[in-house]
Amino acid sequence: MFFIVTGAYTLINYQEFLAQRTELMRASEIREILKITEGKKIISLAGGLPDPQVFPKSELAEVTREIIKEKGDRALQYSPTKGVADLRDALLNYMKKHGISVGSNDDIIITTGSQQALDIIGRVLINPQDVVVVELPTYLAALNAFRLYRPSLVGVPIDDDGMKTDVLEEKVRKLAGEGKKVKLIYTIPVAHNPAGVTLSIERKKHLLEIASEHDILVIEDDPYSHFVYEENVDVTPLKTLDSEGRVVYLSTLSKILAPGLRIGWIAGNKELVEAFERAKQSLDLHTSTLCQYVAAEAIKRGLVDRTVEKAKVVYREKRNVMLSSLDKYMVKGAWWSKPIGGLFLMLRLPSDKVDTKELLPEAVQSGVAYVPGAAFYADGSGRNTMRLNFSFPKPEEIEAGIRILSELIRKKLS
């Protein structure tokens, strides 16, 4: 009889076997915090989870059943790396409705969440030392994905109107003067994660002018523009304003349908999409065929639109509770963003006296978790900031969480 032994009883030093590049694979700080809070009675303002009450469970069950019954031979089979045509067509129409036109479904590749799109972009476009501009702060998991390909990251600060494009222009010029060409600008223009700010239309145009003048590709990461909570806000995607094919657009169904389906996509020039396809082939052959058929049907039947309408109501209320709780309890002099969409806002404390990473264990002890801001800053700054999620906790938890946090911060500052 054979036994397979796993676990603690080993003489093998596994660390010696790890390839050097694993040193660049950082565990996501968010996922580490989620591990600490799991199963404990803690108000978590840390993750980025959608509220499950928004998931269209029974409709998705119905769609899935029908697909397996009627198209099971195809839906349960291997499928093309680029994605099934039904879904690429559905996304082409969906984007068109939101003002984003790409030539044909050949300009779209389906990815396993937009997280995979970020990795593919790193793989295909970033050589060691290539200069990549990111917002300060930016999406932590994009930083982690890009870092594996050893770029030289350059941060550009943001304010309430998104990336400061005057600073961008200055930095791009200065680098050009030193003989360093910026290759990519990675940006989250609408309802930024983690900052919760939105790039103004003037700055969008300015950013594209700079990209054009210096021949830079723009990576537009857009999970949030499809469900903003305010009327009369300009959420025109950069891709819509792009007359040169300079913008590589990524989005996802994670926040407008369900993240468990793991459906994301990249829309860009066909030549680039073909290179992305080659990279994806060795990653996972293709994204789940079944999930792609379900997603295509969900878009076609208006299920995504209905989910978005529901999500808007739920998240608008929760955002409002977080904003009013901050108004009520937070210490004077603190700044926080006023997101028009998305799932997060960013809080900056009035003094550098409090390092939010050092504060976290005490906050968890007091019953509330958040994500310390520094991990989102490519230059390691932002130690007095934190990201707060409002989509997952209940309204009463949001208020209690902000009250506890505010009391703790007030004590630290006094």
Ligand X SMILES: Cc1ncc(COP(=O)(O)O)c(C=O)c1O
Helix (H, G, I), strand (E, B) or coil at 82: coil
- For the chain, the straight-line distance linking the first and the last C-alpha, in angstroms and rounded, comes to 67
Instruction: Give the binding-site size for ligand X (rule: CB under 6 A).
Output: 13
Question: Which residue, 120 or 359, is less far from ligand X as judged by CB?
Answer: 120
Q: 198 and 163 in contact (C-beta within 8 Å)?
A: no
50 binds ligand X (CB under 6 A): no
Structure tokens at 177: 């003067």
Do residues 328 and 407 make contact, with C-beta atoms less than 8 angstroms apart? no
Query: Closest separation between CB of residue 264 and ligand X, Å?
Result: 4
Contact by Cβ (8 Å): 118, 146? yes
Q: Using CB under 6 A as the criterion, what x/- string covers residues 145-184 for binding ligand X?
A: ----------------------------------------
Q: Which of 48, 137, 151, 237 binds ligand X (CB under 6 A)?
A: 48
Instruction: Tell me the residue length of the chain.
Output: 414
Q: What 3-state class would DSSP assign to 70?
A: helix
Residue written as token pair 């003002």: 99
261 binds ligand X (CB under 6 A): no
Chain centre to alpha carbon of residue 337? 17
187 near ligand X, judged by CB under 6 A: no
Of 403, 234, 229, 406, nearest to 319 (Cα)?
229
Pairing of strands 335-336, 344-348: antiparallel
269 within 8 A of 122, measured Cβ to Cβ: no
List 237, 264, 373, 393, residue binding ligand X (CB under 6 A)? 264
User: According to CB under 6 A, which one of 79, 193, 389, 391 is a site residue for ligand X?
Assistant: 193
Tell the smallest beta-carbon distance from residue 251 to ligand X (Å): 8
Which of 114, 289, 356, 406 touches ligand X (CB under 6 A)? 114
Could you tell me the smallest distance in angstroms from the CB atom of residue 115 to ligand X?
Answer: 3
In angstroms, rounded to a whole number, what is the distance separating the alpha carbons of residues 56 and 309? 12
Check: CB of residue 292 under 8 Å from CB of residue 85: no
| 330 near ligand X, judged by CB under 6 A | no
Q: Give the CB-nearest residue to ligand X.
A: 113
What are the tokens at 314?
A: 């739920």
For residues 222 to 251, the per-residue mask of contacts with ligand X, x marking binding by CB under 6 A and - elsewhere, is -x----------------------------
Q: Is there binding between residue 307 and ligand X (CB under 6 A)?
A: no
- Single residue of 81, 105, 198, 254 touching ligand X by CB under 6 A: 254
Nearer to ligand X, 318 or 399 (CB): 318
| Distance from C-alpha of 262 to C-alpha of 112, rounded to nearest angstrom | 5
Using CB under 6 A, pick the residue from 83, 113, 155, 373 that binds ligand X: 113
- Binding residues for ligand X, per CB under 6 A? 48, 113-115, 139, 188, 193, 221, 223, 252, 254, 259, 264
